[in-house]
Amino acid sequence: MNNTTDKTSQSRRRFLEKISRAAGGVVMSGMVPGIMLGLYSQQSKSLPADAIRPPGVTNEADFLSACVRCGLCVRDCPYDTLKLSPLGDRVAQGIAPGTPYFNARDIPCEMCEDIPCVKACPTGALDPQLKDIDDAKMGLAVLIDQEACIAFQGLRCEVCYNVCPVRDKAISIEYSHNKRTSKHALFIPIVHSSDCTGCGKCEHACILDEAAIKVLPINLAKGELGKHYRLGWKEKQKAGKSLVTPDIEHQYNLPEGTHYDHEGEGLIQPKKTTPFEKGALDRLNEGRL
Amino acid sequence: MVVANNRAEHIILSQKKMGQDAIDKKGWLLAHKWLLLRRLSQLSIIFLFLLGPMFDVWLIKGNMTSSLILDTIPLSDPYVFLQSVFTGHYPELTALTGAIIVGLFYFIVGGRVYCSWVCPINIVTDAADWLRRFLKIKKSLTPSSLNFSRENRYTLLVVSFLLASVTGMLVWELVNPVTMIQREIVFGMGLSWVFIVSIFILDAFISRRAWCGHLCPMGAFYSVLGKFSLIKVNAINRASCNDCMDCYALCPEPQVIKPALKGAGSPLISSANCTNCGRCIDVCAKDVFVISHRFINFKP
């Protein structure tokens, strides 16, 4: 009797020991590396500023869920733009190792019309829905240093504007007053996020030693207005009428006979009548020479 | 059983050079036949991938996670593919087709044929094991509290899938030395050699066959894939075994041999952990082992 209890308690102890050892094994071999890897993976979740993804990547998280790092996009890139980041990449620090990217200053994307990199991707990490390369959103060009950009010094350059494959849509030139000379205009390149594909040709071509215009991953480059913001004039345009108080035409206290044109003509003087014949004096009175 | 094997190994280690009997009987070349064939296979696969970038001959493009043969036949690693499925990504047909082709191949020839005939890390761990034997290192430095068992790789396999689904990323591929070294050989070397050196040190000086035999979840995946594979090593002449123990000493998964060699049942090595490397065939002076298929008729 005693012997059997002993045996059961022994086997129970052995069983418990086995279970706890197994649990310990799972903790050591599973949970510890699991947690470490999980934390490490969070580090690689955002894209470093100097790495741009190939076309067809709109969201870094979606991309990282699909890319198997096979490099077929790299192989099919006719301009050797794309590369697979090696572990400990010095160019794109912190990028998920083995994933494809390009550095626009080195070799920008030439925006091939048949998009061979997207075609080569076996997993759909590069979205096969992308049929028109002009719809690509690899990144966003930002004129990041206005102090260095020579256009802001009043010099003519416009190289970024001229190399842009979607010229006049993605980059336009806006004229503004040159305060220094008071004579000439500044020819300022302005990037429009609606049309910029992030190909990086502007950054590549920038004539400065260090580019003043740079392509950045969209999440770094793009601001976002608070969701609750409404721009009055846009809402008004959408609704076709003012949504706050009804529009009241501004009233000017003007001399009799004088009008004000809101559409742009401005102040309208009444026609002066004169008892005299038209002559030099009249012309002077009318303010003409 | 594992303990018993280790003890047996230690006895053997202290005596003579392993596989010497086989070399004396069959000659060096035949006593290394399968080993040499495996090295040839491993190196020529790397070479095939390098043909494109080095000589502009594109027989195969990409790397072992996904590739394209002659611009037509897609291949994808089923383990990496499954990780991406676990993230919630809906795969394209190309990758799916590739994973099915590769998966079927290993399902037939034996899952861990990947480990012993394809994986470049195998060269590293085999070299580490050779050094271990050469220096006659017998001790394992893994603390017993770690419970460093051969089942750990299956835990890691589950963890790698869990991590993929929790984070939505292919987390194991951030550190997977198998795909990493292969990729960096083909696409330009980064720091992956650090992993290789670490694995070599781990296997040579800390614990025997620590990486491939205990930790690698990729190997665990291929074990599961090849559980019912057609091609198996067979201890068909087990009656003539003279208990020299050379096969146990050189086998990367020695626990798989005993049931087939000493058991009363089928002489097939049925364990999914067997890598079909054929080393036991090489080192056996009595020609106990052969490569055969699982449906072979045998008389006990």
Q: Determine, for residues A64 and B159 on separate chains, whether the beta-carbon distance falls below 8 Å.
A: no
Are A84 and A53 within 8 A, CB to CB? no
For residue A53, what are the CA distances in angstroms to A70, A195, A197, B296? 15, 17, 11, 53
Closest alpha carbon to A83 in A37, A50, A127, A124: A50
| pTM (two decimals) | 0.80
Backbone angles phi, psi at B291, to 5 degrees: -85, 130
| Contacts B152 to A, Cβ<8 Å | 25, 28-29
Q: Up-side HSE of residue A125: CA atoms within 13 Å toward CB?
A: 32
| Contacts A37 to B, Cβ<8 Å | 159, 163, 171-172, 174-175
**How distant is the Cα of B168 from the closest Cα of chain A, in angstroms?**
5
Q: Determine, for residues A72 and B62 on separate chains, whether the beta-carbon distance falls below 8 Å.
A: yes
Q: Determine, for residues A68 and B184 on separate chains, whether the beta-carbon distance falls below 8 Å.
A: no
Please tell me if residue A80 touches chain B, with a CB cutoff of 8 Å: no
Residues 6+ apart with CB under 8 A from B199: B121, B124, B125, B128, B177, B211
Characterize the bridge pairing of strands A140-143 and B231-234: unpaired
Greatest extent of chain A over all pairs of C-alpha atoms, in Å: 144
pLDDT, mean of residues A29-43: 73
**What is the enclosing helix (H) or strand (E) of B292?**
strand B290-293
pLDDT in tens, chain B (300 residues): 444 455 555 555 555 677 788 787 888 888 888 999 999 999 999 999 999 888 988 899 988 999 999 988 999 999 999 999 998 888 888 899 999 999 999 999 988 999 999 999 999 999 998 898 888 887 777 766 666 778 888 888 888 898 888 888 888 888 889 999 999 999 888 888 888 999 999 888 888 888 898 889 999 999 999 888 888 888 888 888 888 888 888 889 888 888 888 877 788 888 889 999 988 888 888 888 888 888 776 554
Are B10 and B233 within 8 A, CB to CB? no
| pLDDT-based confidence at residue A275 (cuts at 50, 70, 90) | low
Give Cα B277 distance to the centre of its chain: 8
Q: Determine, for residues B169 and A61 on separate chains, whether the beta-carbon distance falls below 8 Å.
A: yes
pLDDT at residue A26, as a whole number: 66
pLDDT digits (tens, 9 = 90+) for A150-183: 999 989 999 999 999 998 999 999 999 988 888 8
Asked if the ipTM is above 0.95, the reply is no
Token couple for B209: 């066959």
Express as a percent the part of chain A with pLDDT over 90. Answer: 43
For chain B, the structural domain boundaries read: 5-34+231-293, 71-140+149-224
Of the candidate ranges A110-114, A132-136, A158-162, B202-206, the one whose mean pLDDT is the lowest: B202-206
Which residues make beta-bridge pairs with A141? A215
Please tell me if residue A61 touches chain B, with a CB cutoff of 8 Å: yes
Indicate if the pLDDT at residue A98 is higher than 70: yes
Q: Determine, for residues A41 and B192 on separate chains, whether the beta-carbon distance falls below 8 Å.
A: no
pLDDT at residue A110, as a whole number: 93
Q: Determine, for residues A123 and B66 on separate chains, whether the beta-carbon distance falls below 8 Å.
A: yes
Closest alpha carbon to A55 in A165, A201, A197: A197
Give the nearest partner residue to B155 out of A29, A97, A122, using CB atoms.
A29
Positive or negative, the CA dihedral A212, A217, A218, A222 is negative
Give the nearest partner residue to A61 out of B168, B179, B183, using CB atoms.
B168
- Among A26, A29, A46, most B C-beta atoms within 10 A, so best to mutate, is A29
Please tell me if residue A62 touches chain B, with a CB cutoff of 8 Å: yes
Distance CA B236, CA B280 (A): 12
**How distant is the Cα of A105 from the closest Cα of chain B, in angstroms?**
20
List the alpha helices (DSSP H) in chain B: 2-13, 20-26, 33-55, 78-86, 93-109, 113, 121-134, 152-167, 172-175, 177-187, 192-201, 210, 217-225, 246-250, 257-262, 279-283
Burial class (CB in 10 A: 0-12, 13-18, 19+), A189: buried
